Structure 1
């Protein structure tokens, strides 16, 4: 180990040693989250004892569908808020990686019978809508992580592709999250379980964030930055907006709070990052959040940008994630698409029951 002339480690060496320690800690957890072949292992011993695991909000089941046949080649899970956005991403990534659908077929919403989330499969890529807020993405993540387990997927990579409000950043700026915090600047996701508050670290893969940042180019004609993302539990008061139905603070108090966020290194505000980071980290899944700012919150609260501009801005995170996926496939070798992706029913009776269960409105 090298030291400087004063016998002390320099900053880069300290940083590298910290990353090595974190990596060693992660490797130690691999036994809990991976089998020897790299396939996903759940931190839940009860699932193996169940006759069937119904992924209720995806309209899938471990015995009604052949999940290995349908999803066994999945390497990338890309999530975004709305069904339309993720359908558009599925179309986009299909053209980017050169995936072709069988003649006479078209992209299918695999979870159409759930009426809750939309899911499209393009070769090794799943494109899924997660709705708005922590509860919605939390439910989805539980079921998608279980889907990875049942399908025996090996070392999947998760991306959240979204929109956000910038803190001192112009609209259209792409933000890659290298950290996540809640509205109190706590870097964990807390959830009441059996009457007790459980806090799970909200950690994203910093190496993945650096690799994504390296894929941005001057030709993009817009800025791509990294930083901490604040996850709010609410769109209005939780984000310090002045335009909600209720507001018990002044504009000066709002501005003081936002400046405090900027001083703490927070680049943007959205509503899913801590949940996404904590649950993927707990599952041992490499994950990243890439968002585009729709406005600078230091300059206002409402999005007034023309619709056609917003549509172009929302493509920017998709472009960056697509670059990563293309590079990965080029580096690792194209993953075989044969024999995967179409609806594959194991039990017609169970398949019908799963559809009926998922269609039940509460």
Structure 2
């Protein structure tokens, strides 16, 4: 059989070897993808850098194969990558990202594990109806919570708001467009009162795709902004938050019976 290399991710099933991985760690940032591969995996091999969507094949200490892959920013790019990853045999995906807290008790530097998402994303509406639930896999989510507890990381479990834009959609006015549509003014306070923990841009579509495509998905994000205080990113805390999110995912995969 000839190897079908997919147009966007740049590799195919035959590139994954005789024991292909069934799990992928998915990051929007290609630098994070590389960091995971180089610092947390063994015998790493670069699969592709097509379109800036870097993908690496590596192995956990227990010799389990795993992908570290780049989704790109936002749901449209993620939807393409996830579709092609499922076609090469991936059955479990953990998104490792960054997010902004909208609750005063969720500080910068902590991590948020998403149990579900309020999905305000046009991409997701092409996957399933707007009423379709955007829920994380419960077993993978519990494994992430247990991992964070065992590692002693400050973590929060709850609902995430997934939106399509970083500025307008997250009610940022310190940008090239300070004039928000009326439907977005006050949206952060509304979400806060609905007990939503954080903003990010991919989970909702990922979770809906998991339900429709029949794979398992979960998400853990490092908190890099505190929207009850300021609109900006706190770069001084980013490395800690992202590092703890990565370590949580790796620990969950390595130690949970969910992945045996």
TM-score band, normalised by the shorter chain? Answer: 0.7 to 0.9
In the alignment, what sits opposite 2:98?
163
* Displacement of 1:119: 0.4
The equivalences for 1:38-117 within 5 A come to 53-61=4-12, 66-67=14-15, 70=17, 72-94=19-41, 99=42, 101=43, 107-112=44-49, 114-117=50-53
1:204 matched to 2:136? The reply is yes
Structure 1 residues 137 and 180: CA distance shift in structure 2, 3 A? same
User: Match of 1:295, SS?
Assistant: strand
For the 8 Å contact 1:189–1:201, the answer to whether it is kept is: no
1:139 matched to 2:80? The reply is yes
In the alignment, what sits opposite 1:276?
206
The equivalences for 1:1-362 within 5 A come to 53-61=4-12, 66-67=14-15, 70=17, 72-94=19-41, 99=42, 101=43, 107-112=44-49, 114-123=50-59, 124-148=65-89, 156-168=91-103, 169-183=106-120, 189-191=124-126, 198-199=129-130, 200-217=132-149, 220=152, 222-249=153-180, 254=185, 256-306=186-236, 309-328=237-256, 332=260
User: Match of 1:216, SS?
Assistant: helix
CA deviation profile, 1:29-76 (whole Å, cap 9, x unmatched): xxxxxxxxxxxxxxxxxxxxxx875410122246xxx25x62643132
* Displacement of 1:201: 3.4
Give the greater-gyration-radius structure (CA): 1
RMSD: 2.8
Structure 1 residues 177 and 53: CA distance shift in structure 2, 3 A? same
Counting matched residue pairs gives 250
Structure 1 residues 120 and 172: CA distance shift in structure 2, 3 A? same
Q: Which structure 2 segments of 5+ residues have no match?
A: 60-64
TM-score by length of 2: 0.85
* Displacement of 1:265: 2.0
Higher strand share: 2
Q: Distance in 2 between matches of 1:130 and 1:226?
A: 23
For the 8 Å contact 1:176–1:291, the answer to whether it is kept is: yes
Q: Which structure 1 segments of 5+ residues have no match?
A: 1-50, 102-106, 333-362
